[in-house]
Amino acid sequence: MTPQTATSPLDLAAHVDCMPLNGIDHVELWVGNAAQAAYFYEHAFGFRPVAYSGLETGVRDRTAYVLEQGRIRLVLTGTLGSQTAIARHHQLHGDGVKVIALSVPDVDHAYAEAIARGARGVDAPADRSDAHGRLRTATICAYGDTLHAFVDRSAYYGAFAPGYAPVPPRPVADGGDLLLAIDHIVGNVELGHMDEWVGYYERVFGMTEMLHFSDEAISTEYSALMSKVVASGDGRIKFPINEPAEGRRKSQIDEYLEFYEGAGAQHVAVATRDIVRTVEQLRARGVGFLTIPDAYYDDVAERVPAVAPQLADLRRQGILVDHDDEGHLLQIFTKPVGDRPTVFFEVIERHGARGFGEGNFKALFEAIEREQDRRGNL
């Protein structure tokens, strides 16, 4: 099963950016209880609290915790009232990604370029200042209720942003950081809207379609979906966009759209250097992962000889293996991290491969369908 490649890596490197992006600055989730969510991400995933915002810092409408691990920064935000935008968002969607913030060298240029190319603005460029400097930000709309923020923190030296106080350092878990960086963030959109949003990222951000997968490539006996991957000019930021396809039963995308009640970010893929050790420790801390049938591993060593020495460990942890012309990758997917069957995480270890585990799609989707069936949603 081979994906259709829209643009080669060399083409990506040569692409001229209309909007330079440094990377993902942070991902903000709006949640029902920020204190409890922060505890979960700290003790289950190994993130470290670094900043806090709330009543004690002069903020009256919300509470937020900033957590970091490697180059990953999560912001977990909850409401302090029933009539706020956060409360309405959580009532509709449950816990979910609200803001995918992008670090840019020039917020004003990024915002003006985005608006000129058809983006809908939410917050025009503005400074937030305190004794630690100046943070400049702006915000535009993305799919569903998701937002993209542009962030320039080059003149800010505080904990995270004005209105946040630093959290005293806590002991680092044994072995230090397990997770290094955000590899990609996947968005789910309604049937017939994938090309619309791919076009949006191409037009507004100057991104390039990197890969696309048809419903024939991503299907099981019961369900199917279609997916396209857009990437920034240097390939550093990657956003796969999924939409459901016709199937005999409800696909994972249909289930997400039903319970999230609209389009949104389905999962965040986080990179690691040692996926076996990482998954082993995450399991010990209570993180649940999809179960892969033992028969999946019967031909793994033949498909990807490079992983033969660690096959027993991969089998024991249920880690998937795939390869392309440039190398191989190892990946695994958590179960949903909230009450609704919506947001989850992927852990990925790359060894040269630039793909997204297309050789694992069938095994992965069958694993997801088993979970859907248990929930009565297949």
Q: Residue 344: its pLDDT value, please?
A: 96
Q: Would 169 be classed as within a structural domain? A: no
User: Amino acid identity of 373?
Assistant: D
Residue with tokens 């069938």: 362
pLDDT of residue 187 exceeding 90, the answer is: yes
Residues 160 and 65 sit within 8 Å (Cβ to Cβ): no
Q: What's residue 234's pLDDT?
A: 84
Range of the domain at 129: 14-162
Res. 46: pLDDT tops 60: yes
160's tokens:
């995270």
Residue 2 has pLDDT above 50, yes or no: no
Task: Give the type of residue at 349.
Answer: E
User: What would the mean pLDDT of 251-270 be, rounded to a whole number?
Assistant: 94
pLDDT at 251: 79
Q: Give residue 3's pLDDT.
A: 47
CB 165 within 8 A of CB 51: yes
Specify the residue for token string 């309405």: 88
The answer, yes or no, to whether residue 113 has pLDDT greater than 90, is: yes
Residue 223 pLDDT more than 80? no
* pLDDT at position 9 over 50: no
Give the tens place of pLDDT for each residue, 114-130.
999 999 999 999 999 99
Rounded to two decimals, the pTM is: 0.91
Tokens of 311: 């096959």
pLDDT band at 233 (very low <50, low <70, confident <90, very high): confident
Per-residue pLDDT at 219: 52
Q: How many CB atoms lie within 10 A of CB 175?
A: 11
- 167 close to 51: Cβ distance less than 8 angstroms: yes
Confidence of residue 221 (pLDDT cuts 50, 70, 90): low
Q: For 75-93, what is each residue's pLDDT tens digit? A: 999 999 999 999 999 999 9
Q: How many domains does the chain have?
A: 1
307-313: average pLDDT: 96
**pLDDT of amino acid 15:** 46
Q: What's the CATH number where 84 sits?
A: 3.10.180.10
Whether 238 shows a pLDDT value over 90: the answer reads: yes
Mean of all residue pLDDT scores within the chain: 89
pLDDT at 1: 36
Q: Is residue 21 situated within a structural domain?
A: yes
pLDDT above 90 (res 324): no
Please say if the pLDDT value at position 194 is more than 60.
yes
Residues 280 and 356: beta-carbon distance below 8 Å: no
> Does residue 121 belong to any structural domain of this protein?
yes
User: What is the 3-class SS of the chain, one letter each residue?
Assistant: CCCEECCCHHHHHHCCCCCCCCEEEEEEEECCCHHHHHHHHHHCCCCEEEEEECHHHCCCCEEEEEEEECCEEEEEEEECCCCCHHHHHHHHHCCEEEEEEEECCCHHHHHHHHHHCCCCEEEEEEEEEECCEEEEEEEEECCCCCEEEEEECCCECCCCCCCCEECCCCCCCCCCCCCCEEEEEEEECCCCCHHHHHHHHHHHHCCEEEEEECCCCCECCCCEEEEEEEECCCCCCEEEEEEEECCCCCCHHHHHHHHHCCCEEEEEEEECCCHHHHHHHHHHCCCCECCCCHHHHHHHHHHCHHHHHHHHHHHHHCCEEEEECCEEEEEEEECCCCCCCCCEEEEEEEEECCCCCHHHHHHHHHHHHHHHHHHCCC
pLDDT at 361: 61
Least confident of 21-25, 29-33, 203-207, 362-366: 362-366
Q: How confident is the model over 192-210, as a mean pLDDT?
A: 94
CA distance 373 to 378: 5
Share of the chain above pLDDT 90, in %: 72
The whole-number pLDDT of residue 211 equals 72
pLDDT at 12 over 80: no
Does a structural domain hold residue 277? no
Whether 254 is covered by a domain: the verdict is no
Is the per-residue pLDDT at 365 higher than 80?
Answer: no
Residue 376 covered by a domain = no
Alpha-carbon torsion 252, 254, 256, 258, what sign?
Answer: negative
> Percent of the chain beyond pLDDT 70?
86
Per-residue pLDDT band for 372 (boundaries 50, 70, 90) equals confident
Whether the predicted pLDDT of 11 surpasses 80: no
More confident residue, 223 or 357: 357
Instruction: Examine residue 303 and state whether it is found in any structural domain, yes or no.
Output: no
pLDDT digits (tens, 9 = 90+) for 145-184: 999 999 999 999 999 999 999 999 877 666 678 999 999 9
* Weakest-pLDDT range from 196-205, 220-229, 230-239: 220-229
Model confidence at 215: pLDDT above 60: no
Residue 296 has pLDDT above 90, yes or no: no
> In the predicted model, is pLDDT for residue 370 greater than 80?
no
For 340, phi then psi, to 5°, come to -85, 150
Instruction: Confirm whether 112 is domain-assigned.
Output: yes
